[in-house]
Structure 1
């Protein structure tokens, strides 16, 4: 394979969801609304956690980090799409595409790792409550988040650098609203076998390991909850992790849907539509899922906005 500086193109074309001009204002308004809700919702959640001393616990520390990552995750793709619709342009530069790809992989990896860390936190809190303060010290929690950043950054850096070694010999159009790495790699006119191997290996190792950790944690949590004698005790224990379980389900189910749709022939458009669920919808819903089912966050939000939260 020849180095990426032999690439004969300087830009990609993001074809988006529809080329019909009459649908562009609707798509623009819809995604702008979802983006603003995502940003302000997650910012409110971060502000609530940081301003209330009662929420300075490992669970809410991880939740605040997840909200920050969700803002960055959505900001990697949606603003560029909105700009292209507004300017009636579908162009993204080669360098911009690689940069977008890097940050997309970085933040989706962080989402993946943080959800696993939060499952581990709930496992220790419910299954080993007497050891919780020792096992989940602030230094340990910070280290877990730092390790998540490092592993995700290394993975995204490796895969992005490998794309630089590919050659693209023609005008490249992506049936997507952002530079999705799988589609970019498949459009290369040079050998991409190694890229495919690394992508699948990283997805299996990092994503599979995180999902396995989540499933193990919740199997132990459910077993522990079933051992509680009182119905009130069971409800209280389950309520502490129900929001996280809902977020995990939406993230991995939509991610699996994208993976399966991308594996099917002639499914680029379907993959783009499905990608909206975990790149835009899930980050938008996360603050509502956590706040509407959590009295502590409701109380903190009421103190900030001055009105009761549902």
Structure 2
């Protein structure tokens, strides 16, 4: 299967943006410590879809603010399984007005909430949350100044609400269960759910399967990298994947973007910037497969229904 590489100009713009964010994160890490650097990187990743879609200044700023708010909700709920699940569900539902303007505009809000609840931040949670907002604002400001991004593809309200509700139920319940079981890293499940559920009801089974496979393979490779490579190499890999994810977003190649963005999120979250690179490989893999499987099942049930409005991914 050939790789649909984005045009060179798109890759160059994405690379420039990612390099700028990485350089700033390195400076922040030297001056303020690894926690703020982690927050800046997560905020940039969380707002990447908004940066890659030309929806104007206001929606992009709203996405950036919601990135910080979602992560902050997760931080406040840390250690409380039901509250953590509710935070992820609330972040999922917050996608509705944004999804109406453009598909995938705020896909990673529930992921950020799950990361806030699952990462071992301790007393630094508030500071990291602020830097999540800084990273998100930086990315959307740069994309706006460069006049970059693909044309938006609006989604009908019913479709946006259905997608948000399905994400809220599966990701929220999944976070509650994994937190209650003491797994502590349920965000791997949420990454898979958020990525795979951003699928049109009219998408073919082959396309949906490709998105599931891309998500699982991307996270599996990220799991191996975080277990075998040092932090610097892991973060460099996340940067490369971030470039590809942003470029594929701009050209609407969402199946390949799914694997790249999912792997980048996992690499940054499990890089060891905050505490030890946490969790075991088998746990990460099982959570990813479970999340992707649940999301794919919901897609199949919905696509078999009588109401098949047109939507976009």
Q: Same fold (TM over 0.5)?
A: no
TM-score, length-scaled by structure 1? 0.32
Q: Which is higher, the Rg of structure 1 or of structure 2? A: 1
User: TM-score, length-normalised on structure 2?
Assistant: 0.31
